[in-house]
Amino acid sequence: MFKVPPVPAQRLPELLRQMPKAELHIHIEGSLEPELIFALAQRNGVALPYADVESLRRAYAFTNLQSFLDIYYAGASVLLHEQDFYDMAWAYFERAAADNVVHAELFFDPQTHTERGVTMATVVHGLHRACVDAGQKLGVNASLILCFLRHLSEESAFETLEQALPFRDKFISVGLDSSELGHPPEKFARVFARCKELGLHLVAHAGEEGPPAYIWSALDVLKVERIDHGVQAVHDAALMQRLAQDRIALTVCPLSNQKLCVFPDLADHNLGKLLEAGLAATVNSDDPAYFGGYINDNFTQVFAATGLTARHAYQLAFNSFEASFAGNADKRAWEHKLKETFERCVEHDY
């Protein structure tokens, strides 16, 4: 492992912004900024229950996951055509490139759209075209993760999978998101078993608001390769050991945790504890338009609040590459670039 040189505290925020990183937990529908929601509403003739951009922004005062999800689904209602999905993803990629994201794995929620009569082809083609362009025009390597909404039925998840199979070459993994409490991973055991047979990667949200038991069943019943969030693992010593031993990555989202009151005070966030316990934690933005920041905001704010250091920064970026579903050659190239950024930082020259 690279020996991280000492970095003066005042240079840390710039290092966090400059270092190359992968984003592994970003719901593309959660990157819809109020301005784009209004622009798309106008383009598509959709009436919104908010008078203007400012009143929509004011409605972003969530208190928990459910109150957030209610607004999130209202925002997604403006997405109707392939170009809308492209424009949404492209806006995210431009911000990701500015934050030195070199690789992104985007979650998308087809059921949010197919339930409104938008076809799977419209959703997947728009997002996939943006992924291709992100690689070619912005240097952001990108792929898609199809998520099942866990508050809907197993039957609906199976139907969604069926609809997505003609586009099997355009997504690399499936995930599980939306309201966690009351919807344990085992509800989707058979769908995930089928996806595993199809050769898809598997991830799931677990242990955000839900108990450590949900993380156990995501691992043992769903057989996931990464846990999205997972911050509740600290309440279960045996689970912490398992996650560390098997190098199961956690895609942690500090500003989301703060905004949804999982850690109302960012200073209490357990990111440092997870890293010190040897877990492969990463930092991500979750739903950046709604939670007050993109990936670099997540890094700089959680570091400022909790006093993490350059050593942690290196580990987090390194973990993000290792935990990604990218190929080994790409991982080595990004890790090399990461090392160079740290060396340049010590020489006071980015």
Catalytically active residues are 208
**How far is Cα 261 from Cα 238, in angstroms, rounded to an integer?**
26
Q: Which of residues 199-218 bind Zn ion (CB under 5 A)?
A: none
Task: Pick between residue 209 and residue 286 the one whose CB is nearest to Zn ion.
Answer: 286
Task: Pick between residue 286 and residue 297 the one whose CB is nearest to Zn ion.
Answer: 286
Interface characters, 114-143, with Zn ion (x: CB under 5 A): ------------------------------
Residue whose CB is nearest to Zn ion in the complex, by number? 286
Task: Pick between residue 48 and residue 254 the one whose CB is nearest to Zn ion.
Answer: 254
Instruction: List the one residue from 29, 84, 286, 297 that touches Zn ion (CB under 5 A).
Output: 286
Q: From 244, 317, 234, 232, select the one nearest 282 (Cα to Cα).
A: 317
Contact yes or no for 279/271 (Cβ under 8 A): no
Q: How far is the CB of 177 from Zn ion (least distance, A)?
A: 5
Q: Which of residues 304-333 bind Zn ion (CB under 5 A)?
A: none
Structure tokens at 276: 């010190």
The DSSP call for residue 152 is S
Q: How far is the CB of 87 from Zn ion (least distance, A)?
A: 22
Using the contact rule CB under 5 A, the part of the chain among 2-10, 268-276, 280-288, 295-303 near Zn ion is: 280-288
Is 33 a binder of Zn ion (CB under 5 A)? Answer: no
Q: How far is the CB of 115 from Zn ion (least distance, A)?
A: 19
**HSE-up of 290 (CA within 13 Å, CB side)?**
32
287 is in an annotated binding site: yes
Is 109 a binder of Zn ion (CB under 5 A)? Answer: no
Q: How far is the CB of 105 from Zn ion (least distance, A)?
A: 12
Strand partners, 249: 226, 280
Task: Pick between residue 207 and residue 338 the one whose CB is nearest to Zn ion.
Answer: 207
52 is in an annotated binding site: no
348 is in an annotated binding site: no
In Å, how far from its chain's centre is CA 284?
6
Using the contact rule CB under 5 A, the part of the chain among 92-100, 180-188, 281-289, 342-350 near Zn ion is: 281-289
Task: Pick between residue 39 and residue 181 the one whose CB is nearest to Zn ion.
Answer: 181
Beta strands in the chain (DSSP E): 21-27, 101-108, 141-149, 173-177, 201-206, 226-229, 249-252, 280-283
Number of residues that bind Zn ion (CB under 5 A): 1
How buried is residue 46: exposed, middle or buried, by Cβ count under 10 Å (0-12/13-18/19+)? Answer: middle
Four-residue CA torsion sign, 42, 48, 50, 51: positive
27 is in an annotated binding site: yes
177: helix, coil or strand?
strand
27: helix, coil or strand?
strand
Q: How far is the CB of 288 from Zn ion (least distance, A)?
A: 11
Contact yes or no for 224/218 (Cβ under 8 A): yes
25 is in an annotated binding site: yes
Q: How far is the CB of 204 from Zn ion (least distance, A)?
A: 10
**How far is Cα 128 from Cα 133, in angstroms, rounded to an integer?**
9
**How far is Cα 162 from Cα 159, in angstroms, rounded to an integer?**
5
Using the contact rule CB under 5 A, the part of the chain among 2-10, 80-88, 159-167, 286-294 near Zn ion is: 286-294
Q: Residue positions in the annotated binding site for Zn(2+)?
A: 25, 27, 205, 286
Which residue ranges make up the annotated binding site for substrate? 287
Residues making contact with Zn ion (CB under 5 A): 286
